[in-house]
Amino acid sequence: MKTAIYASAAVVALAAFGTTGAFAQSRDTIQIAGSSTVLPFASIVAEEFGATFPEFNTPVVGSGGTGGGFRQFCEGVGENTIDIANASRPMRDSEREACAANGVSDIREIQFGFDGIVFASSANGPDFALTPVQVFKAIAAKVPVDGELVDNPYTTWDQVDSSLPNQPIALAIPGSNHGTREVFQERVVTPGAEAAELPEGLSDEEIEAVETTFRQDVVVEIAGDYTETLARLTSDPNTVGVFGLSFYDQNRDTLKVATVDGVTPSLETVAAGEYPVSRPLFFYVKGEHIGVIPGLAEFTEYFLSEGMSGMGGTLESAGLIPQPAETTAEVLAAFQGQ
Amino acid sequence: MTSTTLDTAAERRKLVRAGLSRRHVGEKMFRFFGVVAIVLALGFVAILFADVLRKGIPAFTQSNIHLSVTFDPEALNVDPAPVREPGQSDAAFNAANLAWQRQVAMLNWNTVIEAALRNAAPQGFDIDSRQILSIVETDARHRVREVFVRDPSLLGQTVEVDLLASANADNWVKGNINRDLSDTQQQLSAPARALIDTFEENGTIRQGFAWSLLSNVDSRSAPASAGLLGALMGSLWMMLIVVVLAVPIGVGSAIYLEEFAPKSRLTDLIEVNINNLAAVPSIVFGLLGAAVFINWFRLPLSAPLAGGLVLTLMTLPTIIIATRAALKGVSPALRQAALGMGASRTQMVFHHVLPVTFPSILTATIIGVAQALGETAPLLLIGMNAFVAAVPGTPVEQATALPVQIYLWQGNENRNFFEARTSAAILVLLGFMITLNAIAIFLRSRLEKRA
């Protein structure tokens, strides 16, 4: 019995020493967090980086959404803060201020490609050919009818526009923690509201309220990732979901994509700028950590290399829409020049 | 007089008889509801297991492509591997070796694999590079390269290699994707699908046990090679920390509280608080862990050490409460006998009382550890839901845990492939838990015999 007690005491002491010993050890693995849209791409590059550079560890990629990633990124400088924040929208000024307040001032923005945002519905359902104004009319809490703002009267898509199918309106959109939501707002809802011809004489605040207030009964905000949106579609086949182009691409057997303004989303139409709902993807590197965490500069350069994010590269087959080589060269020069 | 007693007796008997059928009905009803409750509970468990097994078992087999790969010197234009020269230092040799490995990694290994695939395909099969490479998983080039790095003398020779078929090819072979869908809805092009069918007929593609599931780490660039090894090790590290910390601390504090601490308001308060702690939702422990272990103690993010500490906090109340209950259950006669023989209180507790309670303490520990093993929520808050493609060698290296890996796979974009993988991961987790429980039951029965 006594020996057992001594043994466990020794183990506890050992564990305690092991812990303190670990503090002194410096981190040699790059730590990344942020946007769930960027996550698959960053993970693929991380894996390939680990396989190609035997001297560096494979970086660790967490999620948490663009906003969550920036929050972790701006917690400060040091080993238990992340080195790279993935983002599906540029960093806001308020976030830069939060970063600066915690001593993170050398923030290097890397734009590495584009992603399309698509509307998709059940593969067995009818086809959708949407325009921003139709989406706005379907989801806004108040819509203009005969020059006056009224509570949204539409219950089926064909009431919004006779060209649309006779199907109850139900839309699953990304929650506000997602960068995708911002793009959805900017590229679909706001242009839709403008095209819907709101009554004249509204103040800016009133217009903003009309543009950002959605009907709670038909609009579902999804806080999780796209699989949650897909699950929503499976349980209610009438739902139209907002997805990333790459997610749709991998689930073409269950999803059917809608055209926006008559353009079918694809690698080509987004790259050519014809498909209206697309956005650049970013990651942000903490300059203070370059040279401290091994491989940070090499990882960034590898990410931007032709074989990864370039035309015909590994990320293109995973659904990334490559940016022109000149843009990449500029971004790389800015990163290295700083 | 007698007649009245007889009367009352008869009357009473009548009364009893009248109530008898009602009591019988009551008893039958209770038994019936009991059976219904058990059938319902077992039914739900059965449905759950049947569903997980139905979905998960196919993922334990996987399509392999058997190829003859030729290390063509023309395609692989690389310097000979560095040979250690006499007098060369370790560092210099390692540097030369790393430089050579980097050079090998930069070669276009896909041409080698494409050549091998075309060799296996029927003569003159019309298919372009991209389509033919979509059949084999993208990590094939690393596997083939590793073969070459291990033995550079293979240049110019042909070796037989088993490579994983891509996740989409595996879906096609297993029928996870509807074969009747049109080309636009398929993941693979028509020629690639036709070639897979040909390969299946001529035995190039064969089904084998999915060792990758157990021997590989998670992967996103090569989904078919995604495995659980990293998560399994992460969970093992955390369980080790939980057992090492929670058992001595938990049992120690239970002994002190039960046997030594004076009964006062303070100890009452402590007791109430421990009982409350056991009911605190696990996510709260996660928040606490993020605030204390990560932000204050500056433990590394996503490390099993931080996860293990959080789970220790969660497991402590369970162990303390169970140990105290076990100590309370020990007969006072045993204590009095020991004290009567002149044993001190410490001797009484450690020599006589505690050994009797070992089986119960063991059960409590296992319940606590099993609970900790399946816990996901607190780990999400300390960054353990990251994508980690390495096996953690120490508890301070980044890792995920089994339940978190299940959560991550559940969210993977390639639904057709990962739905099955997720269920397979659940089966592995359940297997792990059943093993733990089996060990505990075995140890308990042995200890009980001894006691």
B415-B417-B421 Cα angle (round to 5): 105
For B316-343, write each residue's pLDDT tens digit. Answer: 999 999 999 999 999 999 999 999 999 9
How far, in Å, CA of B61 to CA of B208, rounded? 5
Average pLDDT, chain B: 89
Distance to chain B for A142, nearest Cα, Å: 35
Angstrom distance (rounded) from CA A183 to CA A88: 9
Note the pLDDT of residue A5: 52
Question: Which amino acid would we find at residue B380?
Answer: L
Q: What percent of chain B is predicted at pLDDT more than 90?
A: 51
pLDDT digits (tens, 9 = 90+) for B238-267: 999 999 999 999 999 999 998 898 888 998
Domain housing A250: 116-278
Predicted pLDDT at B294: 84
Nearest CB neighbour to B413, from listed A2, A224, A226: A226
C-alpha B152/C-alpha B81 separation (Å) is: 7
State how many domains chain A has. Answer: 2
Q: What is the C-alpha R_g of chain B?
A: 32
A235 shares its domain with A162: yes
The predicted structure's pLDDT at residue B358:
87
Rounded CA gap, B451 and B362, in Å?
A: 14
Look at residue B451 in the predicted model and tell me its pLDDT.
57
pTM: 0.85
| In a shared domain, residues A138 and A57 | no
Whether the predicted pLDDT of B163 surpasses 90: yes
Does any CB of chain A come closer than 8 Å to the CB of residue B170? no
Q: Are residues A127 and A260 in the same domain?
A: yes
A168 and A255 belong to one structural domain: yes
Nearest CA in chain B to A47: B389
Choose the mutation target among B382, B407, B415 for the interface with A, i.e. most A CBs under 10 Å. Answer: B415
Output the pLDDT for position A24: 39
Task: Give the mean model confidence (pLDDT) for residues B269-294.
Answer: 90
Please give the pLDDT value at position A20. 44
Same domain, A79 and A108: yes
Residue at which a domain ends, from A260, A278, A296:
A278
- Alpha-carbon distance of A209 to B389, in angstroms, equals 45
Do residues A259 and A145 both lie within one domain?
yes
| Sequential pLDDT tens for chain A (338 residues) | 455 555 555 555 555 544 444 443 577 889 999 988 899 999 999 999 988 888 899 999 988 788 889 998 998 898 888 999 999 889 999 999 999 999 999 999 999 999 889 999 999 889 999 999 999 999 999 888 888 888 999 999 999 989 999 999 999 998 887 888 888 998 999 999 988 888 888 888 888 888 889 998 899 999 888 888 999 998 999 999 999 888 898 898 899 999 999 999 988 898 888 998 988 999 999 999 998 999 999 999 999 998 888 888 889 888 899 998 899 999 999 998 86
For B229-450, CATH number out of 1.20.1250.20, 1.10.3720.10, 3.30.565.10, 3.30.9.10 equals 1.10.3720.10
Enumerate the domain spans of chain B. Answer: 2-57, 60-220, 229-450
CATH of the domain at A236: 3.40.190.10
Nearest Cβ partner for B220 among A11, A29, A43: A43
Query: Are residues A133 and A170 both part of a single domain?
Result: yes
At B366-424, the pLDDT tens digits run 888 888 998 889 998 888 888 998 899 888 888 999 999 999 999 888 888 999 999 99
Taking contacts as CB-CB distances below 8 angstroms, the residues of chain A near B394 are 22
Backbone angles phi, psi at A177, to 5 degrees: -80, -10
Contacts of B245 in chain A (CB under 8 A): 12, 15
Q: Are residues A124 and A264 in the same domain?
A: yes
* Cβ–Cβ contact A33 with B under 8 A: yes
Q: What is the mean pLDDT of residues B99-125?
A: 87
Same domain, A226 and A268: yes
Residue numbers of A between 188 and 207 with CB closer than 8 Å to B: none
Q: Closest chain A residue to B295 measured between Cα atoms? A: A80
Q: Of the candidates A259, A278, A297, which is a domain's last residue?
A: A278
Task: Report pLDDT digits (tens) over B11-20.
Answer: 888 888 888 8
- CA atoms B419, B420, B425, B431: torsion sign: positive
Q: Pull the structure tokens for residue B384.
A: 């353990």
- pLDDT tens figures, B136-153: 998 898 899 989 988 888
Three-class secondary structure assignment of B140-164: HHHHHHHHHHHCHHHCCCEEEEEEE
Between CA B84 and CA B96, with CA B90 as vertex, the angle to 5 degrees is 60
Same domain, A38 and A173: no
| Other C-beta atoms lying within 10 Å of the C-beta of residue B155 | 14
**pLDDT in the model for residue A1:** 46
Report DSSP letters for A265-325, one per residue.
P-HHHHHTT-SSSEEEEEEEEEGGGBTTBTTHHHHHHHHTSHHHHSTTSHHHHTT-BPPPH
Residue A44 sits in the same domain as residue A156: no
- Do the Cβ atoms of B390 and A8 come within 8 Å? no
Distance (Å, whole) CA B100 – CA A148:
73
Q: Please check whether residues A198 and A159 belong to one and the same domain.
A: yes
